[in-house]
Structure 1
Amino acid sequence: MWQRYQLTTEVLFFCCYWIVTNLIIKQLTMSISNTTACTNDSTSHFDIIHVCLYSFIFIVGLTLNVIALVFFFCQIKSRSPTVVYMTNLTMADFLLILTLPVRICYHLGLKGIPPVLCDCLGLILKANMYGSILFLACICFDRCIAVSFPMSSRIQRARQKSRLVCLAVWILSFGPSLPIYILKRENVSLNVTKNCFDNPPVYATQPAVVFSTLLLGFGLPLAIMLICSWILVHTVQKSPVAQTNLVDSRKIRRMIATSLLIFLISFSPYHATLVVLSLHRDAITSRTCNGMQPMLAAYRYSLVVACLNTVLNPIAYYFTTDTFRKNVVIGTVQKMFPLYNLSSGQR
């Protein structure tokens, strides 16, 4: 039964991903021939596509992550390193999701949103997005060393420092963003503030910022996940336990492949469009650019794709565990959808 809910959510995600990806490609294609200004000077910001996508992420993501938080804080007594990382990942996704209602109101055409609120919510969203990326890398690395060195007391002692690692991740996520936010507030202008979430990413496309973002915020975590995933698959295949069919090695490989796929499809479009915009940064800063409005639209859609990651993280990392499904998910879903109980009983 649980597989049905998991499959349904994954299908919805990939439908949203397909729609947004096609919108990104369309906008990038339009940018080749269009000549428009970099800023949106229209009086209305109504955008039904953004409203629908952000509403889907908010409703589904909030539900799944609240269930996960209740599970981690109320159902699990063990505070293992993996649980610590997963709890912090859920908190990062939860904070990101809480920024979406204002974006939904903005794209519904709401006027008068304070510029300070726009910048603050943008800071929280970006910081928690990179917090999620780093926590995903931490989970993958922790699994790798736990499986590769199960009897090493030194490794086990190092794993117990997971709380310090999480603290470092939070500092690394928010720390570099705060100076940019303060500098942006000092140099803000009326022409920029009126567009709120439609402003060009002037500071995020600076060469030094793009380089550090790609290296520390995307490239390094991706490299860690790829290397650790390869080591994990290799270790499991060579394990005597796998030869006795006590461990489903195919399920483990499928889980690892799914985690990597989710990471790539969620965060690659955003960083790719960030690089494209950085190459045209002069046009962005002048705001009299050639074809930059479609590129900026592609950038905004890629941010939606990154936010979709908050929907899949609970399914990929929490809900697939037997402990979670036995204690929380199955009972809750059966109460919400009694028809599934009836069909299951008839079998």
Structure 2
Amino acid sequence: MPATMSNNNNTTTSSCDDRSTGEIAAIFVVVYSTTFIVGLVSNLTALFVFCRFGSSKSSCAATTSHTTVYMTNLAVADLLLVLVLPLRIYHHLGFALPQWLCEWAGLVLLVNMYSSVFLLTCNCFDRCVAVSFPMSSRVREGRKKSAAVCLGIWLFTFGSSLPSRLLQKHEDLEPRCFGSLPVYAYTQPGVLFSTLTIGFGIPLTAMLACSWGLLRAIQRSPVAKTQLVNSRKIKRLVGGSLFIFLLSFLPYHIVLGLLYLYREDTPCPLLGAYRYALMVACLNAMLDPIVYYFTTETFRRRVMRKQHQLNSQSSVQCNHQTEELVNS
């Protein structure tokens, strides 16, 4: 990238920083602090529940262990993000941090963001095929590869995020810790296109398609016509999961597209929008446990048990124990 553009972006960042106020910094401190406290407690609780549930040898645990793998990895990703939020709080309080520490904290944010995107998508797909094709041997065999899928997601997100952070250090002539714009991410058309499509567009399309397929399968199920399953509640929960997905990740990708359009002269409001979009993206570490609850309480207790026609007495006992753990 030409040095003139890098200088221009640094000048914009500096002038916008000069206009920042203590009230704006306080907003970031409050939001990041709340996310840190709630996210730390909820994700540690979720990991405890998943590890204890996954260690069970009951038939109930065997039917849902593949979904639990995705949820456990999602909790780990969120926990990693939560643990670096104090650095952002420290920064917005006005204290200086080493640039290398800022770079690695930014890398953790990117890895968490796209790991969450892909893990939520895979979990939605897993639920969809499990409910739509409960007796398919091919589906059962495919679901057993959930651990390998999660490993691939970690390797892909880390490998694709690392160049962005490393090259960003060379693009910015005057790095400003968390105040710098992601110059490399939005000035390279190929990087921007892959981020908007592979990183967000395709997963969003898959989430919408799988959610529609899941709701359709539930509506067609004979169980849905009885009082054993609250179809209306399940629809609200699916809609809530999509809402959390869009709330967490849509603003950031919209801002990236706008930064590309104004890449030669970035206005201060757009820089502010970028910082707020990052803050909103961090909220997923606090909102994801809501998705855990949806999966463990509703789909596990009300849908999966009925679709697989498990033994009624043992299934009720197993799911009742899981519900108590999740709600504790």
TM over 0.5: yes
What code does the residue aligned with 1:198 have? G
User: What is aligned with 2:200?
Assistant: 218
User: What is aligned with 1:38?
Assistant: 12
What code does the residue aligned with 1:124 have? V
- After superposition, the Cα gap between the structure-2 partners of 1:271 and 1:109, relative to the gap in structure 1 and judged at 3 Å, is same
User: What is aligned with 1:227?
Assistant: 209
Among 72, 88, 104, the residue aligned to 2:50: 72
The DSSP-based 3-state class of the residue aligned with 1:101 is helix
1:257 CA displacement:
0.8
What code does the residue aligned with 1:223 have? T
1:327 CA displacement:
2.0
Which fold has the larger relative contact order, with Cα–Cα distance below 8 Å and residues 6 or more apart in sequence? 1
The DSSP-based 3-state class of the residue aligned with 2:183 is coil
Structure 2: which 5+ runs fail to align? 1-9, 56-60, 298-318
Among 56, 68, 89, the residue aligned to 1:83: 68
User: What is aligned with 2:325?
Assistant: 327
Matched, 1:197 2:178: yes
1:182 CA displacement:
2.8
Give deviations 1:35-69, integer Å, cap 9, x for gaps. Answer: x9411365898511111111111111111111101
Q: Matches of 1:58 and 1:236 in 2, distance apart?
A: 36
User: What is aligned with 1:313?
Assistant: 288
Among 239, 244, 250, the residue aligned to 2:221: 239
Q: Matches of 1:325 and 1:170 in 2, distance apart?
A: 29
The alignment yields a C-alpha RMSD, in angstroms, of 2.0
Structure 1: which 5+ runs fail to align? 1-35, 285-291, 331-347
User: What is aligned with 2:146?
Assistant: 162
- After superposition, the Cα gap between the structure-2 partners of 1:186 and 1:278, relative to the gap in structure 1 and judged at 3 Å, is closer
Runs of 4+ in 1 over 6 A off after TM superposition: none
User: What is aligned with 2:130?
Assistant: 146
- After superposition, the Cα gap between the structure-2 partners of 1:157 and 1:75, relative to the gap in structure 1 and judged at 3 Å, is closer
User: What is aligned with 1:114?
Assistant: 98
The DSSP-based 3-state class of the residue aligned with 2:185 is coil
Give deviations 1:194-230, integer Å, cap 9, x for gaps. Answer: x210012101112211111111111111101100111
On the 8 A contact 2:80/2:112 being kept in 1, the answer is yes
Aligned pairs for 1:17-56 (under 5 A) are: 37-40=11-14, 47-56=25-34
1:320 CA displacement:
6.6
Q: Matches of 1:276 and 1:174 in 2, distance apart?
A: 25
Aligned pairs for 1:116-135 (under 5 A) are: 116-135=100-119
Question: What TM-score does the superposition give when structure 1 sets the normalisation length?
Answer: 0.77
Structure richer in helix, relative to its length: 2
Aligned residue pair count: 284
